[in-house]
Amino acid sequence: MSAPLNSLGLPKAPKDTRVVVAMSGGVDSSVVAALLHEEGYDVIGVTLQLYDHGAAIEKKGACCAGQDIYDARRVAEERGFPHYVLNYEDKFKNSVIEEFADSYLRGETPVPCIRCNQSVKFRDLLAVARDLGADCMATGHYIQRRINAKTGRAELVRAVDPGKDQSYFLFATTQEQLDFLRFPLGGWGKDVTRAHAQRLGLITAAKPDSQDICFVPAGDYTKVVKSLRPQAGTPGEIVHLDGRVLGKHDGIIHYTIGQRKGLGIGGGHDDNNDPFYVVKLDAANARVIVGPKESLARDTIHLKGCNWLSGDGTAGLPVLLKFRSMMQPIAATLTRHDDGGATLTLQDPQYGISPGQAAVCYDGDRMIGGGWIAGTENSRIALAA
């Protein structure tokens, strides 16, 4: 008879199961590491030093930087398990920060946290975990991993707490990675996590959640992008959809699809006093295209760089869709293409969808995958963006 499964779904006693825990220095990953150690697992904490020491990106206390590394190390020391800090600055800069800057130059709205999970954390760090002889790697993400009783395959399911669910940021997780990963917090709310942190006496128990992109100080992404790509400040014209030049701008980086305020064109309203919105960013010609709200409506999304955890690619698959992390899922139809791309047809037109964002698909609460938005259109008026 096979050995009974432990709490991580492995046929070993906890003491014989080595778990690498990705520790960012926050309360969530600290609790994961401390609880698994308390349960008797052979825990190794690993923290990635990611930020750039250069003048372009000056960070103080951001994720995986100075204070957070110190906090992760303290938790490991106080609980009594080993902890390592790996310098991944170059990998992070090349895989995440450079792409972030280039995406803005293309007139897109990037999501660097997905790129970080896709490359540095779930590619490079998993390789380190395997080199350390780990049976699995655990993180503090709020998402559930479950085994499909029919197929025996691991699946990703939205967290119990919808306000903390991070499934949107994990759409690029491959099946091979998912087989090795564990997410102990997916069935909890943040209040439960903090209660355990208090009980365990962790120094991170009252530490606030990070709100900004980890390498962007105080949310000022334009400063970061301009320091890396000075041409991001190239001035240009603000143009109405009908071709009228309405004003000037100091770089398309200051604008996002769907933006209404701060357009730099006086009142920013048409003759009927209806506000203008950013409809398109024409990066090649340094133009910001504006128009009425109805011109933002899109009912078709084209994807590239897709990753699917399930599904056979059948055309016309009904799905629930998110193109922002905190939005309520909406109804759509998925058609996958042989070239690795896909098309999503929305049941109802949506507003403010930007290239560069991720579109993530669900079957109920089960996350089945997604891709990067390459373009959108409105089939009713054939207006591309």
1 — pLDDT class (breaks 50, 70, 90): low
pLDDT at residue 245, rounded to an integer: 94
pLDDT of 311 over the 80 cut: no
Under a CB-based contact definition with an 8 Å cutoff, are residues 354 and 339 in contact? no
Query: From CA 364, how far away is CA 164, in angstroms rounded?
Result: 17
330 — pLDDT class (breaks 50, 70, 90): very high
Strand-pair category, 298-308 with 136-138: unpaired
The single residue of 63, 64, 116, 361 carrying the catalytic annotation is 116
Which 8-state DSSP code applies to residue 275? B
The mean pLDDT value for 169-197 works out to 96
pLDDT of 133 over the 90 cut: yes
62 — pLDDT class (breaks 50, 70, 90): very low
pLDDT of 384 over the 60 cut: no
The single residue of 63, 64, 214, 361 carrying the catalytic annotation is 214
58 — pLDDT class (breaks 50, 70, 90): very low
pLDDT at residue 214, rounded to an integer: 82
The mean pLDDT value for 232-260 works out to 94
- Write the pLDDT tens digit of every residue in 221-242: 888 899 899 998 899 999 999 9
Under a CB-based contact definition with an 8 Å cutoff, are residues 105 and 147 in contact? no
Beta strand spans in the chain (E): 18-22, 42-49, 83-87, 136-138, 143-147, 154-158, 181-182, 236-240, 245-249, 277-282, 287-291, 298-308, 317-322, 330-336, 342-350, 358-363, 366-378, 383-384
pLDDT at residue 59, rounded to an integer: 42
pLDDT of 67 over the 70 cut: yes
Domain at 297-384, CATH homologous superfamily:
Translation factors (2.40.30.10)
pLDDT at residue 382, rounded to an integer: 53
219 — pLDDT class (breaks 50, 70, 90): confident
116 as an active site residue: the answer is: yes
What's the fold here for domain 234-295? SH3 type barrels. (2.30.30)
pLDDT of 356 over the 50 cut: yes
The mean pLDDT value for 184-200 works out to 97
Give the residue, 266 or 92, on which the prediction is more confident. 92
What percent of the chain has a predicted confidence (pLDDT) above 90? 77
Tell me the average pLDDT of the chain: 91
361 as an active site residue: the answer is: no
323: nearest Cα among 292, 368, 355: 355
53 — pLDDT class (breaks 50, 70, 90): very low
Of the ranges 32-41, 59-68, 107-116, 147-156, which one carries the lowest mean pLDDT score?
59-68
274 — pLDDT class (breaks 50, 70, 90): confident
Residues with Cβ < 8 Å from 264, sequence gap 6 or more? 238, 247, 248, 249
379 — pLDDT class (breaks 50, 70, 90): confident
pLDDT of 347 over the 60 cut: yes
pLDDT of 191 over the 50 cut: yes
The mean pLDDT value for 17-22 works out to 98
3-state helix, strand, coil in the chain (%, to 5): 30, 30, 40
Considering the segment(s) 14-219 as one domain, its CATH architecture is 3-Layer(aba) Sandwich (3.40)
Domain ranges of the chain: 14-219, 234-295, 297-384
The mean pLDDT value for 80-89 works out to 94
Give the residue, 28 or 212, on which the prediction is more confident. 28
pLDDT of 63 over the 70 cut: no
